[in-house]
A and B are shown apart, each in its own frame.
Chain A
Amino acid sequence: EIVLTQSPATLSLSPGERATLSCRASQSVTSYLAWYQQKPGQAPRLLIYDSSKRAPGIPARFSGSGSRTDFTLTISSLEPEDFAVYYCQHRSNWPPEHSFGQGTKLEIK
């Protein structure tokens, strides 16, 4: 079973700053990694898939990078609406499971 570990658990930044969130896999997931944003009381929203592809309608300030075991979500300049919890998710062909990391809370400093 592949385990995803996200860091940091909480990130405190100000609007306009750059955010860098990390997701590490316990073994290689090649490029099969996605990032989601979740705000309180809302369903998650897909931001990035296949490590670096932006989902439809996602602003260009969100970008993803990485491969194998180390991945990064970058928000180039934080907007007030970006403060939320972010999850990474991997896709495994065998066993065919798509588990999530534990999340990073991005809060206003």
Chain B
Amino acid sequence: QVQLVQSGAEVKKPGASVKVSCKASGYTFNDYYIHWVRQAPRQGLEWMGWINPNSGNTNYAQKFQGRVTMTSDTSISTVYMELSRLKSDDTAVYYCARDLLGYSSGWCSGWGQGTLVTVSS
């Protein structure tokens, strides 16, 4: 079955960068876009962007442009999300999710377990 396993929790200082990994299994990795969504404590969901793992093409939400980088390593079926110049309000659980239909339909089906990133001085 589809499984996305994310890296563990991180604690970072303001101004630092964080890189979260998402390892996929149970399906053909190259055939499905991966989305990243975050959720601040007791807040709603915020879509950050997607990556085509096959081509490496990306699309980022305007809010994160210039600060987020999504990459993929097809040899190990893993995508990465790196967020730079961290601020305290970047404290959130970061999720990766597989696109339902393959290309970027936008619909997130099959989620990782989430990675808590805490930004604190």
Contacts and interface: CB of A to CB of B under 8 A. Distances in A.
B107 A46 contact: yes
Interface stretch (A66-74, A75-83, A97-105): A97-105
Interface string B87-108: 0000000010100100011111
Nearest to B4: A43
Interface string B21-64: 00000000000000101000000111100000000000101100
Interface string A4-30: 000000000000000000000000000
Which secondary structure characterizes the binding site on chain A?
loop
Contacts of A36: 45, 108
B109 A55 contact: yes
A91 B107 contact: yes
Interface centre among B35, B37, B59, B107 (most CB of A within 10 A): B107
Chain A residues touching B, range? 20 to 34
B111 interface: yes
B59 A89 contact: no
A101 B113 CA distance: 21
Interface in A29-46: 32, 34, 36, 38, 43-46
Contacts of A99: 46-47, 61
A59 interface: no
Contacts of B44: 87, 100-103
Given A49-B100, A96-B59, A97-B62, A34 B46 contact: no
A96 B57 CA distance: 13
Interface of B: 35, 37, 44-47, 59, 61-62, 95, 97, 100, 104-109, 111-114
24 contacts: A1-B62, A32-B106, A34-B106, A38-B45, A43-B111, A43-B114, A44-B45, A44-B108, A45-B111, A46-B100, A46-B107, A49-B105, A49-B107, A55-B100, A55-B107, A87-B44, A87-B45, A90-B106, A91-B105, A91-B106, A95-B62, A97-B62, A98-B47, A99-B61
